[in-house]
Amino acid sequence: MAKHGTIVVVDDNKAILTAIKMLLDNYFENIITLSSPETIKNTIQKEQPDVVLLDMNFKSGINNGNEGLFWLSEIKKAKPSLQVVLFTAYADIDLAVKGIKEGAADFVVKPWDNEKMIQTLVNAANINKTGNRKQTGKSTHLSANAMVWGDSLPMQQLRSLVEKVATTDANILITGENGTGKEMLAREIHRLSGRNKSVMVSVDMGAITETLFESELFGHMKGAFTDANTDRPGKFEAANEGTLFLDEIGNLPFHLQAKLLTALQSRSVVRVGSNNHIPVDIRLICATNINLNEMVSKGSFREDLLYRINTIHIEIPPLRSRGDDIIRLAEVFLSKYTSIYGKKEMSLSAVAKEKLMTHPWYGNIRELEHAIEKIVIIGEGQIIDDKMLDLPKSKTTEKETSAVGISTLEEMEYKLIKEAITKYEGNMSLVAQQLGISRQTLYNKLKRYEL
């Protein structure tokens, strides 16, 4: 695998430095870690890095992010062409956006997603080397994360609707099967909106613990509870003048739905430990793979909340109904991952395309992307044939396998989780309760098994 030069990582948390160094070891030739920014200018002059990952806060007790902006300015004075990626907690997203306006290449939010972190840093390094975004086939840093509409009739109809509603401030509910790209569509709506100069803040409603719900969304004051050492805005405030994306909205417990509804109706939040109402100006987009109308009829989702979030309903079609779009997406992912892993361009043979077209893709775009990434990592040569496509088993095959028997604990766990998701129609709170685990543990297992 080709590596992408030198990176300097600056963060006062040594555990984070160690974790990032391990993560980036296969992607950069030289990884330099600094626990303080004081020596950063000398390090830049000596090492000539391709990219810097810069934390926003360093001094104990100071969390306003201004240190990051100061050191960004110092780096740009010393070496204007050097690409700087800001490393920030969600509460500092507005400062990170300000940092981009002042010359940063991008930002990564803590806690980070490994794949997004790697892609952001590799792309920034490539910009520094070439003076432009690295071109590999059709892919660029922008196109790798942009909406790929395709030419199928369902997606063209969807695109027409999105372009009409994106420019408004109407609340939007996006529905569709797992892996269809609901968050990506939300980002496209934000990009097309009048709020695109501000940030879109994403919240996984299924991953937030019930005890931290109000703190995460509405913020808290210093001393409001144990470990509340500073005032902290919530994600509503972080998304002010931008877009707030609430993913997996169907997994929000019933007793917390009223609190969300109150904030949406009043367009204001009250931080935990305070009585003051803070006005917020957001555009709301929600997403779920659950039938909320059925939840309303069963009494597990508030009807008034559904009306509030569902001004415009957008249903994303499953991948299997999109025809030749499957090949288009596969080629986009090929370009993306050959660039990330430093491989030569790869292309699909006719038989490979046929196999992709006939696969059911129950995991939709996410399943397709994982399949292509695996091919790029382990594949030899530049032409992909059908034998190289190690596609996941179809539901029919899974049933046949289960009839023979389960051979490992992992297979049993996978089967139990999958059956519970089917039984409870994707309601992750009920799934976790049935399995006797927390929702956070459940989400970790969903990611592990790619469900």
Residue in 355, 341, 339, 343 with CA at minimum distance from that of residue 388? 355
pLDDT confidence tier of residue 134, bands split at 50, 70 and 90: very low
Q: At residue 205, does pLDDT exceed 80?
A: yes
Mean pLDDT, all residues of the chain: 83
Fold: same for 6-134 and 153-315 = yes
Question: pLDDT, tens digit, for every residue of 43-58?
Answer: 998 999 999 999 988 7
Average pLDDT of span 244-248: 94
Percentage of the chain exceeding pLDDT 70: 86
Residue 32: beta bridge partners?
Answer: 8
Give the contacts of 165 (CB within 8 A, at least 6 positions apart).
172, 189, 312, 314
Give me the long-range contacts of 262-266 (CB less than 8 A, separation at least 24). 263/217, 263/218, 263/236, 264/305, 264/308, 264/309, 265/308
The pLDDT of residue 135 is 35
The one-letter amino acid code at 373 reads E
The pLDDT of residue 287 is 96
Q: Which fold has domain 319-388?
A: Helicase, Ruva Protein; domain 3 (1.10.8)
The pLDDT of residue 383 is 87
Q: What is the dihedral of CA 318, 319, 322, 324, to 10 degrees?
A: 180
The pLDDT of residue 403 is 40
d(CA 126, CA 349): 29
The pLDDT of residue 119 is 82
The pLDDT of residue 279 is 96
Average pLDDT of span 355-377: 90
The dihedrals phi and psi of 2, each to the nearest 5 degrees, come to -70, 140
Runs of H (alpha helix) within 347-394? 350-358, 364-378
Q: At residue 419, does pLDDT exceed 90?
A: no
Question: pLDDT, tens digit, for every residue of 303-339?
Answer: 999 999 999 999 999 999 998 899 999 998 898 888 8
CATH 3.30.420.40 assigned to 153-315: no
Report domain 401-449's class. mainly alpha
The pLDDT of residue 186 is 94
Least confident of 138-142, 265-269, 277-281, 323-327: 138-142
Whether pTM exceeds 0.75: no
The pLDDT of residue 196 is 87
Handedness of CA 344, 345, 346, 350 (dihedral sign): negative
The pLDDT of residue 133 is 40
pLDDT confidence tier of residue 90, bands split at 50, 70 and 90: low
Query: Which tokens belong to 222?
Result: 């210093």
CATH number of 6-134: 3.40.50.2300
Q: At residue 96, does pLDDT exceed 60?
A: yes
Average pLDDT of span 131-141: 37
Q: At residue 281, does pLDDT exceed 90?
A: yes
Least confident of 82-96, 207-221, 239-253: 82-96
Question: pLDDT, tens digit, for every residue of 149-198?
Answer: 888 888 989 999 999 999 999 999 999 998 899 999 999 999 899 998 88
Please report, for the chain, the start and end positions of each structural domain, with discontinuous segments joined by +. 6-134, 153-315, 319-388, 401-449
